[in-house]
Homo-oligomer: A and B are copies of this chain.
Amino acid sequence: MDTRGPSPRPAADPVRQASRKRVIDIIRERGPVARVEITDHTGLSPATVTSVTADLLDEGLIRLADVHGAAGETVGQPSRGRPRTLLEIEPDAGFAIGVKLSLDQISATLTNMSGEIIGTDLTQAPIDTMETADIVRTTADCIRAVVTKSGVETGDVKGVGVGVPGYVGYPEGDVHWSPLFDASPTPFRALLEAEIGLRAHVDNDANLIALAEKWFGVGRHHSSFLVVTVEHGVGMGLVVDNRLYRGSRGLGAEFGHTKLVVGGALCRCGQRGCIEAYVSDYAIVREASIFDGGAAAAGHRSMRDAMDALIARADGGDANVAAVFRRAGQYLGIGIANLVDVLDPAVVILSGARTHSAKAFFSALQGALGDANEAMPRPMPSLEIHPWGDEIWARGAAALVLDEGLV
């Protein structure tokens, strides 16, 4: 029996639960979808699919699709010789809250079951210098605020998905290392659930982007892809055969603290030569500080503002600042080429705030990938840059709730 969460449910038959999850996943992936297609894609028997979908209809988690005239399918009408009933997720079956913790803010977004955004809340605070108890309280306040703003009942919230930078063990939600927490490990999931009285799922933040891409982005066309995120830190998320790669102990797919230069630049984790120490926002602001005695960082309200100013300078013709971005782009390209060697993804997606960066950054990034391809001739994956806003994290967090919360 699951005793972790504040909403314990009766122990279910694990085979039945697995069937249920497969049916829900196919409806999410392919809906509106006919029962016969669910049978084909899950390999479950028609009897099981009929029974599981009947349960889901009863519970209001799915509904008959309104597809009059769409794609030649008509509900209840003969099509290819027999009536077909199409099923889809019921968007209003409940709500999910996606939360992202960053160095300087917490954002919370409430979505419906289809990932459509109903309401948002943004709390700015120096998270990286706060005590754990204060972070938990601030996160909880932010969650309560978005529920109130959205005008929904707390009881209709199916769960909260939280993205945290660093090494997060999943599903326990223990944070083994993060720039946001002092103690290691920090049982953030347990602390947050105790505070908010809702089921929470805590994961590495880049994994949430990968989930958002899987359900709402490139995942609709590719079953395997790699997401690399760059902003305050450098992260990655990997989807293989339509599943998030989590590794043996739920710690999988960390990228920011892999070493690109033995004994190289100092990283905020205390080690040297991590890719993050060359590519992340703080690394760029630090490096550029040599030209103005630290004014680049000190003169701005936040790291985000400092980066915007540096990007403007680089693009405006400041060769020194452009050179800083150029090295960051080159090193990120080499790091991504390393990941391509190890993982052989079909597509690499660059995401996060630093999909807005200096021109010198992107040209050096493309150059490094081109060099890697030329040096070692083999098919290279395409690089896609997805400059989605903060809502991508929220939709990924909501996807995490949908992945875990409905079975």
Contacts and interface: CB of A to CB of B under 8 A. Distances in A.
A346 B249 contact: yes
Please state the number of chain copies in the assembly. Answer: 2
Interface in A211-261: 224, 236, 240, 245-255, 257-261
A345 interface: yes
A262 B260 contact: yes
A247 B241 CA distance: 10
Contacts of A259: 260, 334, 337-338
Contact of A251 (B251, B253, B271, B379): B379
Most buried by B among A224, A246, A261, A337: A261
Interface of A: 43, 167, 169, 176-177, 184-185, 224, 236, 240, 245-255, 257-262, 269-271, 330-331, 334, 337-339, 341-346, 375-379, 381
Given A177-B378, A248-B345, A254-B341, 4 more contacts: A250-B344, A252-B342, A252-B344, A259-B260
A204 to B, nearest CB: 11
A342 B341 contact: no
B258 A338 contact: yes
A269 B257 CA distance: 26
Contact of A248 (B245, B334, B346): B346
Contacts of A377: 176-177, 184-185
Contacts of A345: 247-248
Contacts of A224: 247-248
A342 B344 contact: no
A341 B379 contact: no
